[in-house]
Amino acid sequence: MVDKDEKPMAEIQHIDHSQSEWNLQGVLPNTSKPWYKERHFLLLNLGMIIPYLSSTTNGYDGSMLNGLQSMSQWQGFFGSPTGTRLGSLSNGVIFGQILAFPIAPWLCDHTGRRFPIFIGSLLLVIGAVLQCAAQDYAMFLVSRMIIGFGGLIAVEASPMLVSELAFPTHRSVLVGYYNNLWYLGAMLAAWVTYGTYFMGPNASWAWRIPSLLQGFFPLVQVLFVYLLPESPRYLVQKDRYEDARKVLVKYHAGGDEDSPLVDFEMKEIILQIQTAKMASKSGYREFLSTRGNLHRLFIIIAVPCMMQLSGNGLIAYYLHLILNSIGLTSDPQQLRINGGLTVFNLGVSIALASLMEMAGRRRLFLFSTVGMLTCYVIWTILSAINQERGFKDSSLGTGVIVMIFLYQFFYNAGLNGPPWVYVTEVLPTHLRAKGTNIMQIASTCVLVFNGYANPVAMDAISWRYYIVYCCVIAVEIALVYFGFPETKGHSLEEVALIFDGEEAFGTEPKGGPEDV
């Protein structure tokens, strides 16, 4: 047993990082079996479903609120909220997230990755029950704040756990699937609200049932999250080297204690974390300490802004306003379009995630932003013509719907799966929780804007508001082209070389390895 205050000398031997990618390929298990026929891979990859459910719950929320807005039962119960009153309900989750910002990274750094998922999911269950039981606007708003508070804690820890547990060659696809499962929740919420709509014009359970079901996936997480192992990188960060090695031996090497892959992973993880600890500054100010960290800070702010400020917020939370603007005002019709869009998004996003390792991250970001801009320009033109003709030409409305679906295709290609892969790759272990928190803060700032500006602007200027997003997406193309390096084909530790050079792993301290 290695004492927790000692550094395992055998693990921190020199690594030739000039050929680190070759080293990784050289120590991978030599097997012709597909992963699903290897018991340890099967258990590990299926276990990823538990943290995935944080994304599913998040997707359920947006689609559910979309569906509720298209239900006369919900509109009647809450007095048909519009403008800032409607925006407050959308931002209720955001208000809760803001309160969780100082807590979530502390929990991830001091309690691991599993406990934040557990406690965040438990709060989500409580929030869903209160949301279902809401008797007025204020109670519904408070319940959504509780959902946001718990949701942020779970969402910050979940992709970190996936990224840090995944087998090296599976990581990009597995993390890519994390955000794609957002659409599973969105699809379920869309069709649940469609089904409960027909319960009757005065049935409050038409909206209470979807509200209660928001707690189902968090309940599954509460019950099963501790079946997953803890992150080996977190364990190393806490000097629990023996425990970290056991996780890697069991889930990456199938129980082989002498696996060269485990030796290689332990060496890289320990060396990178110990180097980071020696060079570490105080708190969040470390992001301003080096050129590499400033570059990381730019990326972790730019990525969430792109994810939320590319016009997708209109579709996610205010699809009924878009459909109203092109003359499609029937409740069942809007619910069917919302449901069909979520099915399309789920299928497309899962298919596209498999291309991530083949195409690379940067290329997908560029493909996505250029495609979204093209769709938004056409969408804007069709909406303008449709309004000028008094919504009498149904083909123009159909054209807008087609552009919405095409836009979602391009959005999924680059801004659904790749962002979480990219952000967890560019952040070193000791900054990953803080960096993820900065990402969530940036995302929340944009979501607050979306929550209040989108419904007000759509009511005031209708299709002309789309021009704003055309300009924003054009700026995003430039940001990706000039500021996003490729990280494809590297381990989490090796990506540090792209930003910090050889300083990422430091040099052996004077006095020999025994002083490390």
Measured distance CA(411)–CA(415) in Å, rounded? 5
| Angstrom distances, CA of residue 163 to CA of 80, 412, 432 | 42, 20, 11
- Residue 472 sits at the vertex; the CA angle it makes with 471 and 475, to the nearest 5 degrees, is 90
| Cβ atoms within 10 Å, residue 74 | 23
Indicate the Cα dihedral angle 84, 88, 91, 97, nearest 10°. 140
Measured distance CA(105)–CA(434) in Å, rounded? 6
408 falls within a domain: yes
391 falls within a domain: yes
Measured distance CA(250)–CA(265) in Å, rounded? 13
Measured distance CA(180)–CA(419) in Å, rounded? 11
316 falls within a domain: yes
pLDDT computed for residue 54 by the predictor? 96
Measured distance CA(146)–CA(127) in Å, rounded? 5
Collect all residues with Cβ–Cβ distance below 8 Å to 184 and sequence separation of at least 6: 56, 59, 346
154 falls within a domain: yes
pLDDT computed for residue 280 by the predictor? 59
pLDDT computed for residue 457 by the predictor? 84
Residue 40's nearest CA partner among 261, 269, 350, 220 is 261
- Our count of domains for the chain comes to 1
Tokens 């056991």 belong to residue? 246
The number of angstroms, rounded, from the C-alpha of 237 to the middle of its chain's C-alpha atoms is 24
Maximum distance among all Cα pairs of the chain, rounded to whole angstroms: 82
Sign of CA dihedral 316, 306, 167, 51: negative
pLDDT computed for residue 91 by the predictor? 78
Give the model confidence (pLDDT) of 380-438 as tens digits: 898 888 777 777 777 888 888 899 999 999 999 998 878 888 988 898 877 888 898 89
Tokens of 396: 């123009």
Helical segments of 253-360, H only: 260-279, 291-308, 312-325, 331-353, 356-359
DSSP state of 311: S
Judge whether 247 and 234 are in contact, CB under 8 Å: no
Collect all residues with Cβ–Cβ distance below 8 Å to 46 and sequence separation of at least 6: none
1 falls within a domain: no
**What DSSP line would sit under 47-62, residue for residue?**
HTHHHHHHHHHHHHHH
271 falls within a domain: no
pLDDT computed for residue 282 by the predictor? 57
The whole-model pTM stands at: 0.74
410 falls within a domain: yes
Judge whether 128 and 207 are in contact, CB under 8 Å: no
| Cβ atoms within 10 Å, residue 435 | 26
Judge whether 424 and 175 are in contact, CB under 8 Å: yes
Judge whether 417 and 348 are in contact, CB under 8 Å: no
Measured distance CA(352)–CA(349) in Å, rounded? 5
**What DSSP line would sit under 151-215, residue for residue?**
HHHHHHHHHHHHHHHS-TTTHHHHHHHHHHTHHHHHHHHHHHHHHHHTT-TT-THHHHHHHHHTT
Measured distance CA(334)–CA(320) in Å, rounded? 7
Measured distance CA(486)–CA(479) in Å, rounded? 14
Question: Amino acid letter at 347?
Answer: G
| Angstrom distances, CA of residue 356 to CA of 48, 278, 365, 475 | 18, 34, 11, 23
Question: Amino acid letter at 293?
Answer: N
Residue span of the structural domain in which 331 resides: 32-228+285-485
Collect all residues with Cβ–Cβ distance below 8 Å to 465 and sequence separation of at least 6: 454, 457, 458
Along the 516 residues of the chain, how does pLDDT read in single tens digits?
A: 444 444 454 444 444 444 444 466 667 777 778 888 899 999 999 999 999 999 999 989 878 887 888 888 999 998 888 777 887 887 788 889 889 988 998 999 899 999 999 999 999 999 999 999 999 999 999 999 999 999 999 999 999 999 999 998 888 888 888 888 888 998 899 899 989 999 988 899 999 999 999 999 999 999 999 999 999 999 999 999 999 999 999 999 999 998 999 998 999 889 878 876 665 555 788 898 889 999 999 999 999 999 989 988 777 666 777 787 777 778 788 888 888 888 898 888 888 877 777 888 899 999 999 999 999 999 889 888 877 777 777 788 888 889 999 999 999 999 887 888 898 889 887 788 889 889 988 988 888 787 778 778 877 887 888 899 999 999 999 999 999 999 887 777 778 888 887 666 654 433 333 333
Measured distance CA(487)–CA(362) in Å, rounded? 8
Question: Which CATH number characterizes residue 104's domain?
Answer: 1.20.1250.20
272 falls within a domain: no
Helical segments of 214-259, H only: 216-224, 232-237, 241-252
